[in-house]
């Protein structure tokens, strides 16, 4: 027997419809690429998205066609997404921080028909245009007054482009399982792989992400997504904020500590989200200038493990709750969040921060397990390491145009992370499977060593890699970047770490460098780091 409820497909355009109807006067604030702060309402975003969809259809775009965006977090980028999906097409976010060869490769692999780009990236598009033959037109996200002279194919300013239509358009009727978005993994080894989101997966994921024990987004929230739209749906904020009617503050291209602080302060932001490197810059700026953020209640950290020292500084010094989160492109991306359950709500002091450095527990719509190399499920005891695997309606089951089975026999996706899960369900990433250090048959967590090292008052950033050892197979090498104006030594760092970890976990050496390489998504690039120290020999 089937239920007798309406067939109401979960389509992305319903999100912006709801925002316009129920929260039409709510603001979307943008630090524009051109410079000024611009303000628009959800009602206006909705109308402009309809114009995008209308113009795409007028230009011959068909359902399933890929439209690339290479842009910062702005209102124009946001409305373009809703317009693209409302026309039945697929938004394909291109990370401009990738190597140019990778950008051309993924544009060709996706067979993008158009590229919508910010002014910042016009020179990059010009350099790559001959290598992207499927692209028929370039739309520059600006107005006619700021439109640069360019030889890009059929180039036009965004405002001129949508200005030719009236917005009298009905969203296309689609199956909720239709493709909606395409995002490629950063691909530190081999070619990037495309993750193809559906309307249904994005809507379900955004509902889960909005929950009170997740990002806690509501109509009284003011949220600033530092995480870019080209990083897996900006962790769902591009959908969750309009869905719930939150005020949205878009930072544009300026992500330094002073610029981020200015928006957080001036717009009275209550929640923000981004990777640790951005929060390090903000923290250093606030410490240097003696500033605080009285309106900011919650700061979400993901992308890579958040150092304990950073979490404690924001919470103890500035009264800002830090929410540790974890996920990946293949998960849309949120997989776990570190909200406090009733069972751990009484924790205080060191015990509380022992929990907060973990990546948290899964919201509804995500299932999780850890297994050994044979696929046997391992216990949730907080000690046993295993391969982390996930399943759910917003988890990839295959890569775009790749003939490869990526699920195990039970339908779980192997994340490539090594983790523990405790009795309360809190998961902690101990390493990427390719980065874990195997010393004498035992595992050493590079992430735990890095977080400990960053707690040193003179260390700005740290990375740990395994170096070949004739007896123990591998031993850890700690690479550190000192804070500006500070000096650090091997002995000083090792003395700081002494007694805080098992003796056999202690790094065999410390190397001080000016900078540590990062991937296009802001994570430490250990492939490059290992290449950098390829010929290095441990002391003794």
Q: What is the rounded distance in angstroms from the CA atom of residue 83 to the CA atom of residue 120?
A: 22
Q: What is the pLDDT of residues 18-46, one digit of tens each?
A: 999 999 999 999 999 999 999 999 999 99
The helix (H) or strand (E) run that includes residue 31 is strand 27-31
Of 530 and 106, more confident: 106
Q: What is the rounded distance in angstroms from the CA atom of residue 368 to the CA atom of residue 24?
A: 38
pLDDT reading at 56 higher than 60: yes
Q: What CATH code is carried by the domain that includes residue 481? A: 3.30.300.30
217 lies in some domain: no
Tokens of 321: 């709750």
Mean pLDDT of 182-196: 82
Q: Are residues 171 and 302 in the same domain?
A: no
Per-residue pLDDT, 38? 98
pLDDT reading at 530 higher than 90: no
Per-residue pLDDT, 187? 56
The DSSP symbol for 313 reads: I
In this structure, how many other beta carbons lie within 10 angstroms of the beta carbon of residue 259?
Answer: 17
Task: Pick the last residue of a domain from 433, 465, 490.
Answer: 433
Q: Tell me the Cα Rg of the chain.
A: 23
> Is 420 an active-site residue?
no
301 lies in some domain: yes
* C-beta of residue 350 within 8 angstroms of C-beta of residue 327: no
pLDDT reading at 407 higher than 80: yes
Q: Are residues 420 and 483 in the same domain?
A: no
Per-residue pLDDT, 165? 98
pLDDT reading at 535 higher than 90: no
Per-residue pLDDT, 261? 98
> Is 189 an active-site residue?
no
Is the backbone of residue 425 left (phi > 0), alpha (psi -120 to 50) or beta? left
Task: Pick the last residue of a domain from 400, 433, 466.
Answer: 433
pLDDT reading at 158 higher than 80: yes
Mean pLDDT of 60-87: 98
CA distances from residue 266 to 29, 224, 263 in whole angstroms, order as listed: 11, 12, 5
DSSP, residue by residue, 408-444:
-TTSPEEEEEEEEE-TTS-EEEEEETTT-EEETTEEE
Of 429 and 304, more confident: 429
* C-beta of residue 402 within 8 angstroms of C-beta of residue 190: no
pLDDT reading at 1 higher than 70: yes
8 lies in some domain: no
Q: Please give the torsion angle defined by the CA atoms of residues 245, 247, 253 and 257, in that order, rounded to the nearest 10 degrees.
A: -130
pTM of the model: 0.86
Q: What is the rounded distance in angstroms from the CA atom of residue 41 to the CA atom of residue 26?
A: 5
82 lies in some domain: yes
Task: Count structural domains, the chain.
Answer: 3
Q: Are residues 367 and 268 in the same domain?
A: yes
Q: Are residues 414 and 267 in the same domain?
A: yes
Q: Are residues 284 and 401 in the same domain?
A: yes
Q: Are residues 420 and 447 in the same domain?
A: no
Q: Which residue has the tokens 């590229």?
A: 115
Q: What is the rounded distance in angstroms from the CA atom of residue 507 to the CA atom of residue 509?
A: 5
Mean pLDDT of 71-92: 98
Q: Are residues 160 and 306 in the same domain?
A: no
Grade residue 152 by pLDDT with cuts at 50, 70 and 90. very high
Residue of 185, 222, 270, 362 marked active site: 185
Per-residue pLDDT, 189? 56
Domain that holds residue 183: 13-198
pLDDT reading at 421 higher than 90: yes
Q: Are residues 143 and 172 in the same domain?
A: yes
Q: Which of 341, 369, 333, 340 is nearest to 356 (CA)?
A: 340
H-helix segments, 231-359: 237-244, 257-266, 276-289, 308-312, 318, 349-356
Of 437 and 240, more confident: 240
233 lies in some domain: no
- Using a 10 angstrom Cβ sphere, with 0-12 exposed, 13-18 middle and 19 or more buried, the burial of residue 42 is buried
β-pair type (459-469, 473-482): antiparallel
CB neighbour list of residue 193: distance below 8 Å, 6 or more residues apart: 184, 185, 187, 399, 400, 402
Mean pLDDT of 170-196: 89
Q: Are residues 128 and 44 in the same domain?
A: yes
Q: What angle do CA 314, 523, 330 make, to 5 degrees?
A: 105
pLDDT above 90 covers a percentage of the chain that reads 83
β-pair type (321-327, 334-337): antiparallel
Per-residue pLDDT, 534? 86
Q: Are residues 404 and 443 in the same domain?
A: no
Assess whether the previous peptide bond of 333 is cis (omega < 30° from 0): yes
> Is 62 an active-site residue?
no
Average pLDDT score over the chain: 94
Q: What is the rounded distance in angstroms from the CA atom of residue 200 to the CA atom of residue 233?
A: 14
Residue of 438, 442, 500, 528 marked active site: 438
212 lies in some domain: no
β-pair type (27-31, 37-41): antiparallel
Q: What is the rounded distance in angstroms from the CA atom of residue 438 to the CA atom of residue 473?
A: 7
> Is 153 an active-site residue?
no
- Please, what sign has the CA dihedral across residues 514, 519, 523, 526? negative
Q: Are residues 385 and 475 in the same domain?
A: no
pLDDT reading at 163 higher than 60: yes
Q: Are residues 336 and 354 in the same domain?
A: yes
Residue of 160, 254, 443, 523 marked active site: 443
Per-residue pLDDT, 307? 84
DSSP, residue by residue, 121-177:
GHHHHHHHGGG-TT--EEEESS-GGGPPP--STT-EEHHHHHHTS-----PPP--TT
Q: What CATH code is carried by the domain that includes residue 110? A: 3.40.50.12780
Grade residue 441 by pLDDT with cuts at 50, 70 and 90. low
Q: Which of 128, 123, 132 is nearest to 140 (CA)?
A: 123
Q: What is the rounded distance in angstroms from the CA atom of residue 109 to the CA atom of residue 253?
A: 27
Residue of 79, 176, 267, 330 marked active site: 330
The helix (H) or strand (E) run that includes residue 460 is strand 459-469
Q: What is the pLDDT of residues 453-469, one digit of tens each?
A: 999 999 999 999 999 88
Per-residue pLDDT, 410? 96
346 lies in some domain: yes
Per-residue pLDDT, 188? 52
357 lies in some domain: yes
């Amino acid at each position: 027997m089937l239920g007798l409820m309406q067939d109401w497909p979960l389509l992305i355009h319903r999100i912006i419809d709801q925002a316009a109807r129920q929260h039409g006067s709510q603001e979307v604030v943008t630090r524009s690429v051109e410079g000024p702060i611009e303000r628009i309402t959800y009602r206006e975003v909705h109308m402009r998205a309809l114009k995008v969809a209308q113009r795409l259809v007028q230009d011959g775009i068909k359902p399933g066609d890929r439209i690339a965006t290479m842009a910062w977090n702005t209102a124009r980028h946001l409305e373009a997404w809703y317009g693209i999906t409302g026309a039945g097409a697929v938004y394909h976010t291109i990370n401009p921080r990738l190597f140019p060869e990778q950008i051309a490769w993924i544009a060709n692999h996706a067979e993008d028909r158009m590229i919508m780009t910010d002014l910042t990236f016009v020179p990059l598009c010009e350099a790559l245009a001959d290598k992207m033959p499927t692209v028929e037109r370039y739309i520059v996200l600006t107005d006619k007054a700021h439109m640069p002279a360019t030889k890009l194919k059929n180039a036009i300013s965004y405002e001129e482009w949508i200005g030719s239509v009236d917005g009298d358009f009905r969203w296309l009727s689609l199956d909720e399982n239709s493709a909606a978005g395409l995002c490629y993994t950063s691909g530190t080894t081999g070619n990037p792989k495309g993750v193809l989101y559906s309307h249904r997966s994005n809507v379900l994921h955004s509902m889960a992400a909005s929950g009170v024990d997740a990002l806690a987004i509501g109509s009284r929230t003011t949220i600033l997504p530092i995480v870019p739209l080209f990083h897996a749906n900006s962790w769902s904020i591009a959908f969750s904020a309009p869905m719930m009617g939150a005020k949205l503050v878009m930072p544009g291209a300026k992500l330094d500590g002073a610029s981020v602080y200015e928006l957080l302060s001036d717009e009275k932001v209550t929640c923000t989200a981004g990777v640790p490197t951005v929060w390090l810059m903000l923290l250093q700026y606030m410490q240097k200038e003696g500033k605080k953020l009285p309106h900011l209640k919650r700061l979400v950290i993901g992308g890579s493990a958040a150092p304990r020292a950073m979490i404690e500084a924001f919470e103890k010094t500035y009264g800002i709750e830090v929410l540790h989160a974890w996920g990946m492109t293949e998960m849309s991306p949120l997989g776990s969040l570190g909200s406090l359950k009733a069972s751990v709500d009484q924790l205080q002091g060191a015990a509380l921060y022992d929990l907060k450095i973990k990546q948290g527990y899964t919201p509804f719509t995500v299932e999780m397990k850890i297994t050994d190399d044979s696929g046997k499920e391992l216990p949730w005891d907080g000690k046993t390491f295993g391969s982390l695997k996930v399943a759910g309606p917003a988890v990839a089951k295959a890569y775009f145009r790749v003939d490869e089975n990526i699920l195990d026999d039970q339908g779980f996706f192997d994340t490539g992370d090594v983790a523990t899960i405790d009795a309360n369900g809190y998961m902690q990433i101990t390493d990427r499977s390719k980065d874990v250090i195997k010393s004498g048959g035992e595992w050493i967590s590079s992430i735990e060593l890095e977080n400990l090292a960053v707690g040193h008052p003179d260390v700005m950033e740290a990375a740990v890699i395994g170096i070949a050892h004739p007896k123990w197979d591998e031993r850890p090498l700690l690479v550190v970047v000192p804070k500006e104006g500070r000096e650090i030594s091997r002995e000083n760092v090792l003395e700081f770490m002494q007694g805080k970890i098992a003796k056999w976990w202690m790094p065999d050496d410390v190397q001080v460098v000016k900078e540590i390489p990062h991937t296009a998504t802001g994570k430490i690039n250990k492939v490059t780091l290992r290449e950098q120290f390829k010929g290095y020999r441990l002391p003794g």
